[in-house]
Structure 1
Amino acid sequence: MYMYHVLVVDDEVYTVKGLQAGVQWDKFDISSVHTAHSAKQARAVFEAHPVDLLICDIEMHQESGLDLLEWIRRYYPSTEAVFLTCHSEFSYAQRAIQLHALDYLLKPVKYEALEEVMKRALEKIKESKRLLQVLESHRSKALAISNGEVGGMPSVTVVEKAKQFIDEHIGQQDLSRVDIANSVFLHPDHLTRVFKKETGMSLSNYLQVKRLELAKELLTHSEMPISDIALTVGYSNLSYFSNIFKKHTDMNPINYRRNAQSHSPTG
């Protein structure tokens, strides 16, 4: 039996504690309920643990729940999401739908209502995992035959092929963990474990590093507008790209370009 993993995110500590105490988690096949009080903490949980279901507040300091789900959809698209909010605003609901959130509940949340939504979410996750397992099983036969192997492809080859696929598709805005896993005929969770074991780096971090490396090359050796560079390396949101770039280089893209080109031989 598969046991599910849940992440509850809210910058109000008492709300998180209330959900921990009020929801009857033991009614479901849930093995862990992780908690976070910011989008940053939530991303750290995703990097360290599997997360099947996200229960998240929309209005949080610095980054909203919608910002968090946009990141999740990029790197962990199979995670189901349920939003909580104090305000019934159409713009929130519209964006939540665009990001394929399962549902949208108003605070104060009735625990029974949340449990009903959770039941639907976990049933959907269960069916998705069943289909993926069937698909993986069929592809892993096919793979052994094509390679002339009985035991399947060595993990190091899987990682190298995954890296090659990333290099060839780095500019795709919707390039996801599922896409990469499909390219090497593995379940996304299995590829994530193999990739981390072989490289010491999570798959999502590696993908981000490769995007930023390409961005640096384009900033240094081309005159492409920064908005076009963001799109070329897979970021549709220029502000998000700029924030990620500055976080990793301590410079925004404009200053990085000026600095890099002033020190280049042709500058």
Structure 2
Amino acid sequence: MNLLIVEDEKEILNGIMAGVCWEDIGIDTVCQATSLEKALLQFDLTRIDIVLCDIELPDGSGLDFLEWVKEKQPSTVSMIMTCHEEFDYAKRAVSLGCKDFIVKPIIYGQLEEKLLGVCREIAESQEKDRYQAFGREWMKQISGEQESPLSTVNKKELIGQVKSYITAHLKEDLRMEQMAKRFCISADYLSKLFKREEGIGIGDYIVEERMFLAGELMKAGGASVSRIAYECGYDNYSYFTKVFKKRYGMTPREFMQKEARAENGNLSD
């Protein structure tokens, strides 16, 4: 993910560069510009995902730049830096589609937290677009609109994408309708296709994956049963225990005690 900082004061620019742990928040490249002219040039040279812009710049207003970004690069997320006395300008920036604003003097921890939230939103949006593009390709194929053999998507590939999505989102509320929407296909079609290809209903598959993850987390140790239940997508502890016992033939606590005894036995050997 690429970020552009537009700030004419070198001291502030250097402080931001040194004060934020870019790798931790998922920023791969940080570009810099000390004027609007240089900022526009950066957009020609690099794909910019996030722009962090000062309002007052030597060759114009950062708000005018935000208007240009909104019109020409609508997928880029904008954030501004402002002083307390410029609060009205900050409100206008938000009305232009600016995601957030940072008040000077900058608290780097606060900036890092806000950038982390923006990066997560962008990643989620990109993931959604990727799955939808895959689903649209599939629907074109089965409707006969897609004739090129180079771009065909077979059933195994589609189901593989669905399974990958499930594995990556076990913690979330995985509903058939929402997953089908991700892939731009109907819930009924997804349900039938998954069952036909995998020999198991998609709901049962999700449970199996969650129980496998729960078992692995318990073997690893270091987490409570309630935390493991939460990480596997269960808010109701009693229901998690019921499902787990059905899968493993014992309660989560019994399972953890068994693993602990086995571990102690291995250590004594």
| TM-score computed with the length of structure 2 as normaliser | 0.52
Tell me the equivalent position of 1:99: 96
Query: How many angstroms apart in 2 are the aligned matches of 1:148 and 1:28?
Result: 42
Out of 106, 111, 126, the residue aligned to residue 109 of structure 1 is: 106
Tell me the equivalent position of 1:18: 15
Written as runs of structure 1 = structure 2, the 5 A alignment for 1:230-245 is: none
The one-letter code matched in structure 1 to 2:129 is: L
Query: How many angstroms apart in 2 are the aligned matches of 1:74 and 1:89?
Result: 24
Helix, strand or coil for the counterpart of 2:89?
helix
Tell me the equivalent position of 1:76: 73
Query: How many angstroms apart in 2 are the aligned matches of 1:42 and 1:73?
Result: 14
Gaps of 5+ in 2: 153-269
Written as runs of structure 1 = structure 2, the 5 A alignment for 1:1-267 is: 4-143=1-140, 145-152=144-151
**Superposed displacement of residue 143, structure 1:** 4.6
Mapped contact 1:143–1:152 kept (Cα < 8 A)? no
Query: How many angstroms apart in 2 are the aligned matches of 1:138 and 1:88?
Result: 49
**Superposed displacement of residue 29, structure 1:** 1.8
Mapped contact 1:55–1:83 kept (Cα < 8 A)? yes
Which stretch of the first structure deviates more once superposed, 73-82 or 133-142? 133-142
Mapped contact 1:88–1:106 kept (Cα < 8 A)? no
The one-letter code matched in structure 1 to 2:66 is: L
How big is the alpha-carbon RMSD for the aligned residues of Structure 1 and Structure 2? 1.8
Helix, strand or coil for the counterpart of 1:146?
coil
Q: What do the CA deviations read for 1:183-228 (whole angstroms, capped 9, x no partner)?
A: xxxxxxxxxxxxxxxxxxxxxxxxxxxxxxxxxxxxxxxxxxxxxx
**Superposed displacement of residue 89, structure 1:** 3.1
Query: How many angstroms apart in 2 are the aligned matches of 1:87 and 1:60?
Result: 17
Mapped contact 2:67–2:96 kept (Cα < 8 A)? yes
The one-letter code matched in structure 2 to 1:149 is: S
Q: What do the CA deviations read for 1:150-179 (whole angstroms, capped 9, x no partner)?
A: 2249xxxxxxxxxxxxxxxxxxxxxxxxxx
How many residues align? The count is 150
**Superposed displacement of residue 12, structure 1:** 1.2
Q: What do the CA deviations read for 1:56-93 (whole angstroms, capped 9, x no partner)?
A: 11111222211111111112111112211124434312
Gaps of 5+ in 1: 154-267
Over alpha carbons, which structure has the higher Rg? 2
CA separation of 1:123 and 1:142: change in aligned 2, threshold 3 A: same
Query: How many angstroms apart in 1 are the aligned matches of 2:80 and 2:7?
Result: 10
User: In percent, how many aligned pairs have the same letter?
Assistant: 34
Query: How many angstroms apart in 2 are the aligned matches of 1:98 and 1:124?
Result: 19
Tell me the equivalent position of 2:225: none
Q: What do the CA deviations read for 1:113-153 (whole angstroms, capped 9, x no partner)?
A: 10111111111111111111112112233455414112249
Mapped contact 2:82–2:90 kept (Cα < 8 A)? no
Query: How many angstroms apart in 2 are the aligned matches of 1:11 and 1:87?
Result: 18
The one-letter code matched in structure 2 to 1:123 is: R
Helix, strand or coil for the counterpart of 1:105?
strand
Query: How many angstroms apart in 2 are the aligned matches of 1:105 and 1:86?
Result: 8
Query: How many angstroms apart in 2 are the aligned matches of 1:17 and 1:90?
Result: 24
Query: How many angstroms apart in 2 are the aligned matches of 1:74 and 1:150?
Result: 37
The one-letter code matched in structure 2 to 1:148 is: E
Query: How many angstroms apart in 1 are the aligned matches of 2:40 and 2:6?
Result: 10
Which stretch of the first structure deviates more once superposed, 83-92 or 139-148? 139-148
**Superposed displacement of residue 6, structure 1:** 0.9
Tell me the equivalent position of 2:237: none
| TM-score computed with the length of structure 1 as normaliser | 0.52
**Superposed displacement of residue 37, structure 1:** 0.8
